[in-house]
Amino acid sequence: MNSNLKTLFEKHFSEAVDSFKPLKAHGSNRKRYRLKSKKHTAIGVENDDRAENIAFLEFSKHFGKLGLPVPEIYAENLDANIYLEEDLGNDTLFELMEKLRPNKNEFPSELEHLYTRVVEMLPEFQIKGGKKLNYKFCYPRHSFDRQSIMWDLSYFKYYFLKLAGISFNEQKLEDDYNRFADFLLETRHDFFLYRDFQSRNIMIRAGRPYFIDYQGGRKGALQYDIASLLFDAKANLPFEVREKLLQAYLNKLSKLTKIDRDEFMKYYYGYTLVRIMQAMGAYGFRGFYERKTHFLQSVPFAIRNLEYVLHNVSLPVEMPMLLSCLQKIVRSTKLREIGNVQLPLTVHIQSFSYKNGLPVDETGHGGGFIFDCRSLTNPGRLDKYKKQNGNDKGVIQFLEGQPEVHSFLTRVRDLISQVIEKYEQRSFTHLSVAFGCTGGQHRSVFCANSLSKYLAEKYGVKIKLMHREESDWINLK
């Protein structure tokens, strides 16, 4: 038991400590304890970094005066490197999410509502919280400026790229880093930047979010914090949910300050990328270097985030060496398998017409199959089926009665089943399967539907189906 914390508690509450239990520290070097007496409870913190303690205490008092939901500071003894704060319970947003999402392909409305409350509270910190804040207490730097950006990028280089064995030209990478920093600093960066705005730093008490661990806050751009939350690796939010939450954040932000949404989005994915890289540096430092291997479990999730950004966004800045490094990470089976985690797999299945060209891989993953159905008997040559398609009962019954169709689909199912099982073991997140025929109307539609039904019944994977010549993607599971 830390006798100084015990003394501080008993002096503040005028009651003897009955219980003194250490709490899990996560990625921090701070030591945290839960102290209880007959009528009171508090969290005691012991941290040798005086500057970090001062930042947290001063920010907490400032935010508390503004009515923002942060822990109350009960007592402090900076000479002993300790303080007492309000006990907000045990449930972080991350832990609550784990309980509410037994199926990782789903995101219940209760959780989406809670996340919406969180993203709508963020602008309160960034805009209201940033006003009249004494930035001289910022730790370790007053703003997320060029130096801060370069620290994060170097962190990624030395503790992830080098330790993960990703090859690169150091000078060319440094040149890219400088161009990247120039780009990021073009946007306005004089708001309060929380710095570590992620699901483990948000406590949920009686259904209400409270916010902790903002001692690394400083001046910075708006985009960084919302990117930190939405691309929080192990939280693994569905990408469609991320888009909805981003819009909820922007709607609330626009009520507190004037923003240009196009301008915001121009830099949003740049800050998303630098945040992902910073986090990967932390995983590498804690996992590869310090041998705390549980941190490596976040690596496959971070790779999934990288894969999404690289495929969906083209940043208006030349960074060929950096992008080459990121592509090597995304293509690495070794890194995807690290930490022995299993990411949810989505199988994209589509039908198409060879007349209109081969399908495009919209996932950016590049893995998958195209099956040619033109060798199968074509019901479209029969007058009664010409105006029908593979969704219609008559065409279905016709093709189900063809032995060659049954043989063809049996081999397809066996092959795809084998691939799915390996992809799931290796934390690959996308598999593309396409069926083509002459018009994209009968045989390919039937085969795509048949495989979709089979996989939905056999595996826990997410299925997305599209008949290219007549519809857009639909979610089957």
pLDDT at position 49, please? 96
| Distance, C-alpha 93 to centroid of its chain | 14
Q: Which has the closest alpha carbon to 145: 47, 255, 221, 228?
A: 221
- Quick one: 169 and 221 in the same domain? yes
| Distance, C-alpha 19 to centroid of its chain | 37
Give the CATH number, domain containing residue 111: 3.90.1200.10
Residue 464 in this model has a pLDDT that exceeds 70: yes
Q: Which has the closest alpha carbon to 75: 137, 14, 129, 16?
A: 14
- Quick one: 73 and 200 in the same domain? no
- Quick one: 139 and 277 in the same domain? yes
User: Could you tell me the maximum CA-CA distance found in the chain, to the nearest angstrom?
Assistant: 92
Q: How does pLDDT run across 108-153, given as a tens digit for each residue?
A: 999 999 999 999 999 999 999 999 999 999 988 999 999 999 999 9
- Quick one: 222 and 350 in the same domain? no
- Quick one: 177 and 72 in the same domain? no
Q: Which has the closest alpha carbon to 4: 40, 41, 37, 33?
A: 33
Buried b or exposed e, range 203-238, using 16+ CB within 10 angstroms: bbeeeebbbbbbbbbbbbbbbbbbbbbbbbbbbbbb
Q: Which residue, of 340, 355, 386, is where some domain finishes?
A: 340
Q: How does pLDDT run across 75-95, given as a tens digit for each residue?
A: 999 999 999 999 999 999 999
- Quick one: 133 and 77 in the same domain? no
Q: CA 448 → CA 115, 140, 412, 429, 463, distances in Å?
A: 36, 56, 11, 20, 11
Find the domain containing 27 and state its range: 3-85
Our CA angle for 48, 53, 56, nearest 5°, is 150
pLDDT at position 41, please? 98
- Quick one: 161 and 50 in the same domain? no
- Quick one: 20 and 131 in the same domain? no
Across 237-249, average pLDDT: 96
Cis peptide before 140 (omega within 30 of 0): yes
- Quick one: 32 and 108 in the same domain? no
Cα–Cα distance, 196 to 215 (Å, whole number): 9
Across 247-263, average pLDDT: 97
pLDDT at position 366, please? 62
Q: How does pLDDT run across 198-221, given as a tens digit for each residue?
A: 999 999 999 999 999 999 999 999
Q: What is the share, in percent, of the chain residues with pLDDT greater than 70?
A: 97
DSSP 316: S
Q: Which residue, of 50, 85, 120, is where some domain finishes?
A: 85
At 345, the pLDDT band (50, 70, 90 cuts) reads confident
- Quick one: 325 and 369 in the same domain? no
- Quick one: 254 and 113 in the same domain? yes
The β-bridge relationship of strands 31-36 and 73-77 is: unpaired
The number of distinct structural domains making up the chain is 3
Q: Which residue, of 85, 109, 133, is where some domain finishes?
A: 85
Q: Which has the closest alpha carbon to 427: 322, 309, 307?
A: 307
Give the CATH number, domain containing residue 34: 3.30.200.20
- Quick one: 206 and 331 in the same domain? yes
